Structure 1
Amino acid sequence: MAISVPRKRFKFRLDFWTVVTLVSLGLVMILLVYPLFNILITSFISEGKWDISNYQSFFKYKHYYGALFNSFLVSSLTTLFACLIGIPLAYVMTRFNIPFKGLINILIILTLLSPPFIGAYSWILMMGNNGFITRFLNEIGIPFKSIYGLHGMVWAFTMQFYPHIYLYVSGALKTVDRSLEEASENLGIHGWRRVCRVTLPLILPTLSTGALMVFMASFADFGTPMLLGQGVKVLPILAYEEFISEMGTNPAMASTISMILLLITTSLLFIQRYVISKKTFGMSSMRPPAVVKLKRPVRILATLFVAAIVLTSIIPQATVITTSFIKTNGPVFTNQFSLDSYKEVLYRVPKSILNTFTYSSMAIVIMVAAGLLISYVVVRRKSKLTSLLDSLIMIPYVMPGTVLGISLIIAFNKPPIALTGTWVILVIAYVVRKLPYTLRSSTAILYQIDKSVEEASISLGVPPMKTFFKTTAILMLPGVMSGAILSWVTTINELSSTIVLYYGATSTITVNIYSEVINANFGTAAALASILSLSTIISLLIVNKISGNRGFSL
């Protein structure tokens, strides 16, 4: 006789964390999915009809597909040169007794956290048509081509983004099991052959992640190509110009370019993850590599190699700060010390300075709260809904800022939600774009907190929600704040989305720097850039203090 077993019914339990999940998912759908859906729909509309003519035009006219080729060329060369610099630098720094490692690491991280367009502006001051290096070389009879063009973009991006490779590879090299390298030496594989045939394949997954970060950062950047391109178009610039043009806007083509940008970046992410899944190696890491003490002559050469790279990459910061204290005569710097640039900045654009720190601070408060709550449901309350939430929030991780700005304007340019031209849309853009970084740091620290801590609190009669706020959140706070401050640094330096979303009263420091450089007001641009650089340095020191002087990690 068959015995029927009653089917277990799904019981929906509405508690605090369910509400957090549903509200977070709802906000993500409204602020991210809905805008992206809008630009997808707009890209298929031409003259009021549904068709694919915008995509056909993109691949038909060289003006469009040429920009795609330029973007791939610049990003590919940048990734290649960043690897050629970052891998040897990481190997020398992790395996040999190089002096001042702490200071060198801080300088490298400062290079990475500085906005790329400030680096581009600094290289213009040095190697532009009237740069002091350009003038000096021409005066002594050495012909020198200015930094404008594709080669200038590659140079500026390489010196800006090689720290991605350095940081990822350094972390991986420290975990390679020494016994594997020793075994290869016993088989007769020594020196660089061992590095190329054993060490590099072992760290390939981590190296590919760093390379992907470099490629996407250079592929999606707006400011550097705009300053150095001089007519050479890349996709982010093309999307911006189609959307905001003196000849009239073309939101359909801007949406098409935005969708192509997003498709490329997400595809690269999935391809990289697929490659990693096929190439992952397991290591015990019980015997990390020992630091080799070099003989004095070799140590001096290795130190000079490291110093040459780091000092070259930090030159833009030094140039910006130095020139901010030099008197200007129009676009030309004189030899006189002056505070006029700072006085002019405080007189002309104090509002943009206030806007920058106000909007960024508001965004960070939201990010910290969201990071704490969402990371908890993602890690401790795993379900299909929380997995979906986690995946959706990570989309902006690979989304160019220009694409996000265009999508928000198209979505919220008319009632019932009209946000275009307000400061609210800027704060939303910052939160959506930078939340993935705060969320990742929050989930990382939460994985390190044993569940037994919460269980002990609950067993003592403290309700679960109260346990989270009184125990778990406090334990998470140092890690969350480290990630949040780094997110804040990237937010105050944000240009790609801000340039699309701002209007006069909501302009920020980055927008004003861009405008001043375009108008050849290099003194005020230097003063504004110095304010950002100083804010970045202070933030980096705070992160170092919070993390117990362990520095920045990825």
Structure 2
Amino acid sequence: MFLFLLGFVVYPLATLLMNSFFNEEGQVTLHNYMNFMKLKYYYIALFNSFKVSFFATLFAVLIGVPLAYLTTRFNIRFKGTLNILIILSLMSPPFIGAYAWILLLGNNGFITRFLNMIGVPFESIYGWQGIVFVFTMQFYPHIYLYVSGALKTIDSSLEEAAESLGMSAWQRILTVTLPLVLPSLSAGTLLVFMESFADFGTPMLLGQGFKLMPVLAYEQFVNEMGGNLSMASTVSAVMLICSTLVLFIQRFISSRHNYATSGMRVAKVMQLPLSMGWLLTILAFIPVSISILPQLTVIISSFLKRKGPVFHSGFSFDSYAQIVYKVPKAIMNTFSFSLAAMAIMIVMGILVAYVLVRRPSKVTGLLDSIIMLPYIIPGTVLGISLIIVFNKPPVLLTGTWIILVIAYVVRKISYTIRSSVGILQQLERSVEEASISLGVPPMKTFFKTTARMMIPGVMSGAIISWVAVINELSTTIVLYHGATATISISIYTEVFSSNYGAGAALATLLSACTLLSLIVAKQFSKGSKFIS
């Protein structure tokens, strides 16, 4: 595992960082970084990325925290339906949400035309405000899920003690409840910020000249394919440094404000009067209904009649007939590459989890840290680093399906390993020891006993990894070529060519596969702590 990570994570990233210090003539220089800090074209993209990520995270917190508090503390109606809709709104990649909002609020979107028809001035969703809106609606479920889980475990005696001391409800929330959920909240905000900072598809579709760092890195990479990649490496290096700094800041804040409770007496759900209960239910469903709207739009659009890029009234299967005829190779690539990556992640996940749990040491601790490193690396950065290293002999992988599978394993294996570690920590050593005491060799004991008991947790994590892989765009857009295009690439190209019908059909297919995969993962996770 160390060799794998050194070869496909540490070495490519180190090469990318080194490459940023060389000019076109191969001389060591800081010229690239000086240009980045001096030229507005470059540094404005960094400012834009931080601005978009900050506001997306802020609005996600403003939606997710109150929503989590409402659902865990009050008897609002249809709570189960609400939770399902929130998870459904989270499961599709952001670029599909951006594409759906183009159908609704684009220059010729359904809602845009309706608003202009009734005299309400509205231009379109394009621009930085639209990107923030899409990120907020896509990522607030992260905040909701983290905070609601934390709220369910808070010891109610602390809140009751605060109330007995005369604190108002708002004072209790601000001085007792929020500090107790701060570790979970900070983890959720980190995830939202990192997702917003690293996403490529949404700013590429909605930016229209508003540059963010992933788009800038991709454009520098594409423009310099025939020359040197120093500026693309520099932009990628800046992204990597910023991502790492944000992670350290989040961990520092969490370590400074670490609160814990026994969780013996969880808070009771308050029974509200009928009218107040319905009012809070309606308030809770407003953001959820908006966030699920892209999914419904994509599904409905995929069945609309169309002539060229224009939709007409009535329904048909023309869009699905077109994708079967036009992009069958992309569909086959998506599933074959993802299955290959999933098989590798299952084998590696089982073996690495065993080492981490059963053979803990400083060495395995270092291994665990390196495994989580790709979690904070933007997809475009990883793709560019792999291209730089494997674009020449003796190991020439650029343009092959192998480099895509390697990239998918590197980026998504952390899900499989975390779930494998979780299930193995639940298994007592006594079962293995009993098998060995009966004369079964340790290796045979592992495969016949331990590995079999780990299967539920391993498979649940592997399927989550599979879901992330089939929806992956930012890494694939850098590494693919015509013969290795995937469904996400096909959706991206169909939307850019204004073929929204085929794009909607492909997005619906991808969403259906994602939903089916999550259902299967839920079944495997029974008896495992990985998915709740």
Shared fold, TM over 0.5:
yes
Which residue is equivalent to 1:28?
Answer: 5
- The answer as to whether partners of 1:177 and 1:285 remain within 8 angstroms in 2 is yes
Stretch moving more, 240-249 or 285-294: 240-249
Q: Is 1:260 paired with 2:241?
A: no
Which residue is equivalent to 2:486?
Answer: 508
Which residue is equivalent to 2:33?
Answer: 55
Letter in 2 for 1:64: Y
Letter in 2 for 1:266: T
Letter in 1 for 2:373: I
Indicate which of 83, 96, 101 corresponds to 1:118: 96
Matches within 5 A, 1:335-354: 335-354=313-332
Q: Distance in 2 between matches of 1:234 and 1:514?
A: 17
Q: Distance in 2 between matches of 1:450 and 1:275?
A: 35
Shift in Å, 1:348: 0.7
Q: Secondary structure at the match of 1:203?
A: helix
Q: Distance in 2 between matches of 1:307 and 1:144?
A: 25
Q: Is 1:275 paired with 2:271?
A: no
Which residue is equivalent to 2:275?
Answer: 297
Shift in Å, 1:299: 1.1
Q: Distance in 2 between matches of 1:452 and 1:551?
A: 20
Q: Distance in 1 between matches of 2:247 and 2:391?
A: 31
Q: Distance in 1 between matches of 2:177 and 2:91?
A: 28
> Once the two structures are superposed, what CA deviation does each residue of 1:484-525 show, in whole Å capped at 9, x if it has no partner?
111111110000000000000000000010001001000000
Q: Distance in 1 between matches of 2:177 and 2:480?
A: 48
Q: Distance in 2 between matches of 1:536 and 1:39?
A: 33
- The answer as to whether partners of 1:355 and 1:507 remain within 8 angstroms in 2 is yes
Q: Secondary structure at the match of 1:327?
A: strand
Q: Secondary structure at the match of 2:312?
A: strand
Which residue is equivalent to 1:15?
Answer: none
Shift in Å, 1:546: 2.3
Which residue is equivalent to 1:184?
Answer: 162
Q: Distance in 2 between matches of 1:530 and 1:496?
A: 20
Indicate which of 44, 67, 72 corresponds to 1:89: 67
Indicate which of 150, 153, 160 corresponds to 1:175: 153
Q: Secondary structure at the match of 2:435?
A: helix
Stretch moving more, 444-453 or 115-124: 444-453
Q: Distance in 1 between matches of 2:433 and 2:167?
A: 52
- The answer as to whether partners of 1:242 and 1:249 remain within 8 angstroms in 2 is no
- The answer as to whether partners of 1:87 and 1:165 remain within 8 angstroms in 2 is yes
Q: Distance in 2 between matches of 1:228 and 1:550?
A: 40
Q: Distance in 2 between matches of 1:75 and 1:223?
A: 14
Shift in Å, 1:450: 2.1
Shift in Å, 1:246: 8.0
Which residue is equivalent to 1:363?
Answer: 341
Shift in Å, 1:550: 9.2
Indicate which of 101, 124, 132 corresponds to 2:79: 101
Q: Distance in 2 between matches of 1:248 and 1:69?
A: 29
Specify whether residues 432 and 246 from structure 1 end up closer, same or farther in structure 2 by C-alpha distance, changes over 3 A only.
closer
Specify whether residues 247 and 411 from structure 1 end up closer, same or farther in structure 2 by C-alpha distance, changes over 3 A only.
closer
Unaligned 5+ residue runs, structure 2?
none
Specify whether residues 550 and 374 from structure 1 end up closer, same or farther in structure 2 by C-alpha distance, changes over 3 A only.
closer
Which residue is equivalent to 2:428?
Answer: 450
Which residue is equivalent to 2:220?
Answer: 242
Number of residue pairs matched by the alignment: 531
Shift in Å, 1:549: 9.7
Shift in Å, 1:321: 0.5
Indicate which of 29, 46, 50 corresponds to 2:23: 46
Q: Secondary structure at the match of 2:75?
A: coil
Q: Distance in 2 between matches of 1:492 and 1:167?
A: 23
- The answer as to whether partners of 1:110 and 1:540 remain within 8 angstroms in 2 is no
Taking only the aligned residue pairs, the percentage that are identical comes to 61
> Once the two structures are superposed, what CA deviation does each residue of 1:297-348 show, in whole Å capped at 9, x if it has no partner?
1111111122212111111010000000011223221112111111110001
Specify whether residues 291 and 551 from structure 1 end up closer, same or farther in structure 2 by C-alpha distance, changes over 3 A only.
farther
Unaligned 5+ residue runs, structure 1?
1-23
Specify whether residues 250 and 103 from structure 1 end up closer, same or farther in structure 2 by C-alpha distance, changes over 3 A only.
farther
Q: Secondary structure at the match of 1:45?
A: coil
Matches within 5 A, 1:328-407: 328-407=306-385
Q: Secondary structure at the match of 2:223?
A: coil
Q: Distance in 1 between matches of 2:527 and 2:57?
A: 30
Stretch moving more, 353-362 or 240-249: 240-249
Matches within 5 A, 1:493-532: 493-532=471-510
> Once the two structures are superposed, what CA deviation does each residue of 1:37-70 show, in whole Å capped at 9, x if it has no partner?
1111110100210011111110000000000000
Q: Is 1:201 paired with 2:179?
A: yes
Which 4+ residue blocks in structure 1 deviate beyond 3 angstroms? 246-250, 548-554
- The answer as to whether partners of 1:91 and 1:173 remain within 8 angstroms in 2 is yes
Q: Could you say what the CA RMSD is over the residues aligned between the two structures, in angstroms?
A: 1.5
Shift in Å, 1:249: 5.2
Matches within 5 A, 1:308-327: 308-327=286-305
Which residue is equivalent to 1:251?
Answer: 229
Shift in Å, 1:359: 0.4
Q: Distance in 2 between matches of 1:106 and 1:455?
A: 42
Letter in 1 for 2:22: I
Q: Distance in 1 between matches of 2:59 and 2:227?
A: 37
Q: Distance in 1 between matches of 2:74 and 2:394?
A: 61
Shift in Å, 1:236: 0.3
Shift in Å, 1:451: 2.2
Q: Distance in 2 between matches of 1:270 and 1:308?
A: 35
Shift in Å, 1:34: 1.2
Which residue is equivalent to 2:142?
Answer: 164
Letter in 2 for 1:86: G
Q: Distance in 2 between matches of 1:484 and 1:381?
A: 22
- The answer as to whether partners of 1:112 and 1:163 remain within 8 angstroms in 2 is yes
Specify whether residues 247 and 539 from structure 1 end up closer, same or farther in structure 2 by C-alpha distance, changes over 3 A only.
closer
Specify whether residues 551 and 109 from structure 1 end up closer, same or farther in structure 2 by C-alpha distance, changes over 3 A only.
farther
Matches within 5 A, 1:482-497: 482-497=460-475
Letter in 1 for 2:220: E
> Once the two structures are superposed, what CA deviation does each residue of 1:422-447 show, in whole Å capped at 9, x if it has no partner?
00000000000001111111112222
Letter in 2 for 1:35: P
Q: Is 1:470 paired with 2:457?
A: no
Letter in 2 for 1:244: V
- The answer as to whether partners of 1:90 and 1:169 remain within 8 angstroms in 2 is yes
Q: Distance in 2 between matches of 1:551 and 1:285?
A: 17
- The answer as to whether partners of 1:441 and 1:480 remain within 8 angstroms in 2 is yes
